[in-house]
Structure 1
């Protein structure tokens, strides 16, 4: 895969919580030497965006799961880099090295 990984952080309006999540995803990716473009976005726009994976809360997971064809990662604690890393890295490795 020659281009950067494209990752979305999704919440209801694409501000607030998704911005926090975006910053923490970027930290986890940087700590794992993964180059990616991470964008925070609202749930309506996320469905139409091309990306490699989507992070969201439990609140929006059920709404998105049948509308997207990329890996969808449910994050319970947006401030937990440990949770983000544990849930994301196996999927990222599969995307990048498959």
Structure 2
């Protein structure tokens, strides 16, 4: 199953909001994925295919290169998130799938 982690500083508000938008877009595209939100210090405990969060948080991640990271400049705009997902190599493979 496809796995997406959404991260923020505390793993509460920001990551939950982004997660809800990701889940809505997945539903719109008819894709199924396991989506979880968490704090930045717990990201490496998950086996993710894609990690999403604000740019300033994502820049601090030191992860294995197999995980694609999407940094967002705007965490509230669903259309911006949609564009960023469509720019993602991992996500485009899922859509082509």
Q: TM-score, normalised by structure 1?
A: 0.85
1:78 paired with 2:79, answer no
Gaps of 5+ in 1: none
| Residues 28-47 of structure 1 aligned to structure 2 (within 5 Å) | 28-47=25-44
1:93 matched to which residue of 2? 92
Structure 1 runs, 4 residues or longer, greater than 6 Å off: none
Residue-by-residue CA offset, 1:49-89 (whole Å, 9 max, x unaligned): 1011000101211101x324311001122221111111113
1:59 matched to which residue of 2? 56
CA RMSD of aligned residues (A): 1.7
Are the equivalent residues in 1 in contact too, given 2:31–2:95 (CA < 8 A)? no
Q: TM-score, normalised by structure 2?
A: 0.85
Gaps of 5+ in 2: none
Indicate the SS of the match to 1:78: coil
Are the equivalent residues in 2 in contact too, given 1:47–1:68 (CA < 8 A)? no
